């Protein structure tokens, strides 16, 4: 079916979150060792707090984006740690101004626009760069890393707005 495509991409891990998680794990281990040596409630509370902090920070370090294209509608979900899902947005292809590769000449007229930029892509420039830019009604700019099948399905529905160069 041409009107339905699903795509899952893994985003670049947040380095600061990974460092924070590692630091909290080390802190929890140190506090647990101090707890066993001193049997102090203070170290127990700190060890539990550091462990809980490491757990919650770890839940958000691995992010994947799931794109679903169905009936002229792009749905983006964030998948945290391959277990929790959160709807990031739903975008109608009718309200898209342009959807093109990030280095496309079709985006030349849109280069000077100021506005909110939301990154749903892999988060880095790959070789070749397969990220796409979508300018949406109201001046919003979105970055995606869709599969070629998704771009083809979108282009078949809206050939004047979707480009694959």
Collect the ranges in the chain with pLDDT lower than 50: 1
**Tell me, what's the pLDDT at 1?**
44
Sequence ranges of the domains in the chain: 15-59
**Tell me, what's the pLDDT at 65?**
92
Strands ordered across the beta sheet of 84-92: 4-10, 63-70, 73-80, 84-92
Judge if the upstream peptide bond of residue 52 is cis by omega within 30 degrees of 0: no
Cβ 113 vs Cβ 123: under 8 Å: no
| Token couple for 47 | 């060890």
Interval 109-139: pLDDT, tens: 887 777 788 888 888 887 888 899 999 887 8
**Tell me, what's the pLDDT at 50?**
92
**Tell me, what's the pLDDT at 2?**
55
* CB contact burial 31-43 (16+ within 10 A = b; e otherwise): bbebbeeeeeeeb
Cβ 11 vs Cβ 64: under 8 Å: yes
């Amino acid at each position: 079916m041409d009107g339905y495509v699903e795509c899952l991409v893994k985003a670049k891990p947040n380095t600061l979150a990974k460092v924070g998680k590692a630091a909290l794990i080390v802190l929890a281990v140190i506090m647990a060792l101090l707890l066993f040596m001193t049997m102090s409630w203070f170290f127990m509370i700190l060890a539990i707090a550091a462990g809980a902090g490491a757990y919650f920070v770890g839940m958000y370090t691995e992010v994947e984006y799931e794109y679903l294209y169905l009936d002229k509608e792009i749905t983006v979900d964030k998948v945290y740690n391959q277990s929790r899902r959160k709807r990031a947005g739903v975008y109608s292809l009718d309200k898209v101004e342009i959807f093109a590769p990030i280095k496309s000449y079709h985006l030349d007229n849109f280069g000077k626009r100021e506005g909110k930029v939301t990154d749903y892509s892999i988060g880095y420039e790959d070789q070749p760069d397969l990220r796409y830019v979508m300018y949406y009604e109201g001046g919003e700019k979105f970055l995606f890393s869709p599969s070629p099948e998704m771009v083809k399905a979108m282009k078949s529905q809206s050939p004047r707005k979707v480009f694959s160069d």
